[in-house]
Amino acid sequence: MDEEKLDLKNPFAGFNASLMNDDDIIRYWIKPHILFSRQALGVDLTGDIPVVLEGGRGTGKTMLLKFMSNEVTVKEYVAKHQTGHRFLEKTPYLAVYHRFDGPSLGSFVSRHTSEEAWETIFKHYLELVIGQKFTMMLSNLKRNRCFDLDPSRENELIIGVLKLVDPDCSYQVTDCSIEFATAFLQQRLDRVFDFINDSAISEGTKFSQHIVNSGRLIFGVPELALKVLPELCGKKIIILLDEYENLRLNQQKIVNTLVKHTKLPVTFRIGTRLRGFKTYDTLNEGEFLMEDADYRKIRFEDVLTAKKDSFRDLLRMIARRRLEQIREFGRKQIVDIEEILGELSYEDEALMIVFGRKMSRREVDEYPEEKYRTEAKHIQEIMDILKTKYHSDAEKTLSLLIDKQKPLFEMLNLLLLRRDYKPDQVERLFKAYVGKNKESPYYSKYRNLYDKNKVDLLFQLISLNKPRQKQYAGFSTFCMLSSGIIRNFLELCYQSFNIALFSDRESLIEGRQMPIQAQTEGAKIRAERYMDVIERIPEYGNEVKSLVRSLGAIFYSWQNDPVLSEPEVTYFCVDSTSLSDKARKILDSAAQWSVLQPKKPMKGKSATDPLFDVYALNHILAPYFGISYRLRGRIREFGRADLEALMFGTEEEKSKAIIRLSRHPFPGRTKTILDFVGKG
């Protein structure tokens, strides 16, 4: 093995945009056209109206916001044109990026300083931070020769900024660069930090600095820059604020006020996790942010997954960009992730389960019929039913209900027999379908039954053939496991490539399909890591984990229901208004971390029922629990007592709730389910 191969890097290493530098952002950035083409819906990412970008962890919000920042756009332009000279002519906007750092924001509170005082200090701090971002942007534009800044204009800018901070002072500034203003603002910020540090340990600490009023720098510096630098005329100035959910309630009110009363050309883009808004209120009594009037919202998962093909295309392009960066893959044009992962159809997987390995059609044909009938567990069960319930010529009837090339059809026939269909009814349905008799009502009925249940039939086949396990492999499966979260897809690829590069490196760089086992193993590792993340959720990690483990057990029980009364149960409904404050916060927390994904509310089954909130378990966890990754069957609504027991009840309460909500058609199943809850 030569050195080059030993150094082969995993193309999917590094998937957190927050940790990427500007060069990485440029290298890996793929413009998600589905997000940028929302103007028709009134959402313009580069337009006047503020936009809230809402999405779970890893959906790509940070990547998008960072890509829009002046640091990246200028760098990308200069890389392409070798100069920033005409950058301002080409760009419709200039943007500054700021991420709200959770731990820092938590320091804007102390026992001996009032909430009001902290509110004022935070406003002041935010002005200084964004003001400094603006001066840093001007430095960046100047450094890259996007405009010519003669000393007199530069002095005018500097004095202007200083006066915005402190209008009463008369500063004399000569022969200074714009960096002087940045340093000046940093000095002011340092005083805020001094106060934060002192007030944490001393009573009676006073903040004595001159306060910069809200909006003074945030709207004032762009206004000043436009006056001094006519080159900037007509440019939108976008403030990109990331991780808005980290702000405390009062801090959100401050930002909300700025958004509500934004002064063009300044506008905002706010990145937040789902349910990141603690309040929509502004600082003015009775005033609040109104969607559509004050801002437009994009919910990443919804937009990305609205068109299945668009999401698949986006993931394919993102993967291509990463594969191209690795010489071994790029040079040989092994850059199509769909080809690398391949597809594993349910039918092929069913054959693998029954025969214990991947089988070609011909191999299946040549497999001795007698041996198949005696070895295949599901065939044995069909035979048992025919013999015990119908006493007919079981052998003859059996031959009408089986086709060893199609174990899933055989499983469907078994399901119908379990549901007390008569053998001749099953045979009629099956015959119409395999005979492609499309005119027959039996044809469509059988097709519907098959389409509705095929994934669960696969799981049932697995349960009859233990220790065989579900495979989570193939490009389509990875797309579905991703749940609309780009990082999930990247991490699935990362883990699978890790395994494949270790065990099948040669075959991978020769362009052969990645082994199914490597993909499944990668998906399982990713699912386990995701479970670890749940533990780290601040404040409610234990409760969310308890809920998730219980849901895994409940959904697993429905999937193993021999008569499949509901197929592929992976979500639950609840009337959130009936829940305690704590339970609602736990659901919010689970949604913020994308462990549960809120879906469109559903009407209850009875006409008088209220709208129920719907929460789907993130499909990335499917390999952990061995359950489906599609949204299909619906079970009865969860009541408050049961849901809260699953979240924070005693072990006994939890067990009882799981049993109530699970499917237990056969005695003895309970133990299995409760054992399952203990997993992890």
Partner 1 sequence: MVRISGFCDSAQKLCSHFDSVDMFIAGISYEERYIRGYSLLCENGLQAREKILFYFNEVLATYNRTGDEARFDAAFAISSADKKLYVDLYDEINGLFMFRRYLKENSDKFLNKNIIIDFSVMVKPYFFLLMKHLSSINTKKLGFLYTEPDTYTSLTRGAMATRDIPGYSGKRALTKKDALAILLGFEGNRAVAVYNEINPDVTIPINGFPSYKPEFKDISIMKNKELLMDEEIFKNLRFAPANDPFQTRDALLELYLDISGEYNLSIAPLGTKPMALGGCFFAMEQPDCRVIYPYPQEYLPKSSKGWRNSWIYVTELTESNSSGNA
Residues forming a β-bridge with 617: 596
Task: By CB under 8 A, tell whether 582 contacts partner 1.
Answer: no
Q: Which is nearer to partner 1, 1 or 19 (CB)?
A: 19
Alpha helices (runs of H) in 56-215, residue ranges in sequence order: 61-68, 70-81, 87-90, 102-105, 115-143, 151-165, 178-201
Cβ 589 to partner 1 shortest distance, Å:
11
Closest CA to 523 of 476, 466, 477: 477
Write the binding mask 197 to 226 for partner 1: x where contact by CB under 8 A, - elsewhere.
xx-xx-x-----------------------
527: phi then psi, degrees, rounded to nearest 5: -65, -40
Q: How far is the CB of 104 from partner 1 (least distance, A)?
A: 7
Stretch that binds partner 1, among 14-22, 416-424, 466-474, 604-612 (CB under 8 A): 14-22
| CA distances from residue 65 to 30, 35, 206 in whole angstroms, order as listed | 13, 12, 37
Instruction: Starting at the earlier edge strand, list the strands of the sheet with 596-603.
Output: 571-574, 611-617, 596-603
293 near partner 1, rule: CB under 8 A:
no
Per-residue contact string for residues 77-116; x = within reach of partner 1 by CB under 8 A = ----------------------x-xxxx-xx--xx-----
Cβ distance 570 to 614 under 8 Å?
no
Closer of 102 and 511 to partner 1 (Cβ): 102
The answer to whether residues 161 and 131 touch, using CB atoms and an 8 Å cutoff, is yes
Nearest to partner 1 of 27, 599 (CB atom): 27
Is 182 a binder of partner 1 (CB under 8 A)?
A: yes
Q: Which of 114-122, 308-316, 534-542, 619-627 is the region at the interface with partner 1 (rule: CB under 8 A)?
A: 534-542
**Considering Cα of 84, then 86, then 87, then 93, what sign does the dihedral take?**
positive
Beta carbons of 45 and 267 less than 8 angstroms apart: no
Among candidates 577, 580, 557, 581, which has minimal Cα distance to 633?
557
Quick check: 322 binds partner 1 (CB under 8 A)?
no
Residue 469 near partner 1 by CB under 8 A: no
11: its two tokens: 């193309």
Token pair 């890893």 in the structure block, residue? 58
Helical H segments across 307-418, by residue range = 308-325, 327-331, 337-341, 346-355, 361-366, 369-375, 377-385, 394-401, 407-418
The sheet that has 296-299: what strands, in order across it? 93-99, 236-242, 266-272, 51-54, 296-299
User: How far is residue 463's CA from residue 458's CA, in Å, rounded to a whole number?
Assistant: 9
Say which residue the tokens 């883009």 belong to: 269
Residue 411 or 591: the one with the smaller Cβ distance to partner 1 is: 591
The residue from 193, 380, 503, 666 that contacts partner 1 (CB under 8 A) is: 193
What distance in Å separates the CA atoms of residue 281 and residue 183, rounded to the nearest whole number?
34
Least distance from partner 1 to the Cβ atom of residue 18, Å: 4
196: contact with partner 1 by CB under 8 A? yes
What span, in angstroms and rounded, lies between the C-alpha atoms of 275 and 7?
43
Q: Binding partner 1 by CB under 8 A: which of 535, 609, 651, 675?
A: 535
Q: Residue 28 CB, nearest distance to partner 1 (Å)? A: 15
How distant, in Å, are the alpha carbons of 48, 81, 412 from that of 74? Answer: 21, 10, 59
Taking CB under 8 A as the rule, does residue 651 contact partner 1?
Answer: no
Q: Is 186 in the site for partner 1 (CB under 8 A)?
A: yes
Of 31-39, 115-123, 190-198, 572-580, the segment contacting partner 1 by CB under 8 A is: 190-198
Amino acid present at 255: V
Question: By three-state DSSP, how is residue 574 classified?
Answer: strand
Which residue, 110 or 460, has its beta carbon nearer to partner 1?
110
* 110 vs 483, beta carbon nearer partner 1: 110
Site for partner 1 in 19-38 (CB under 8 A): 19, 21
- Other C-beta atoms closer than 10 Å to the C-beta of 673 total 21
Residues 508 and 332: beta-carbon distance below 8 Å: no
Size of the site for partner 1 (CB under 8 A): 39
Find the radius of gyration of the CA atoms of the chain: 30
Nearer to partner 1, 379 or 501 (CB): 501
From candidates 181, 212, 449, 537, binder to partner 1 by CB under 8 A = 537
For residue 102, the minimal CB distance to partner 1 (Å) is 6
Asked if residue 539 binds partner 1 (CB under 8 A), the reply is: yes
CB of 98 to partner 1, least distance (A): 8
Q: How far is the CB of 385 from partner 1 (least distance, A)?
A: 49
- Alpha carbon distance 349, 458 (integer Å): 8
Nearer to partner 1, 523 or 574 (CB): 523
* Minimum distance from residue 170 beta carbon to partner 1 (Å): 27
Angle, helix 377-385 to helix 407-418, in steps of 10 degrees: 30
Decide whether 16 or 392 has the Cβ nearer to partner 1: 16
Binding of partner 1 at residue 652 (CB under 8 A)? no
Interface pattern 115-154 for partner 1 (x via CB under 8 A): --------------x--xx--x------------------
- Only segment of 181-189, 317-325, 398-406, 422-430 that touches partner 1 (CB under 8 A): 181-189
**In this chain, which of 286, 538, 667, 678 binds partner 1, going by CB under 8 A?**
538
Is 541 a residue that touches partner 1 (CB under 8 A)? Answer: yes
Please, which of residues 422-451 interact with partner 1 by CB under 8 A? none
The binding site for partner 1 (CB under 8 A) comprises 13, 16, 18-19, 21, 99, 101-104, 106-107, 110-111, 129, 132-133, 136, 182, 186, 189-190, 193-194, 196-198, 200-201, 203, 529, 532, 535-539, 541-542
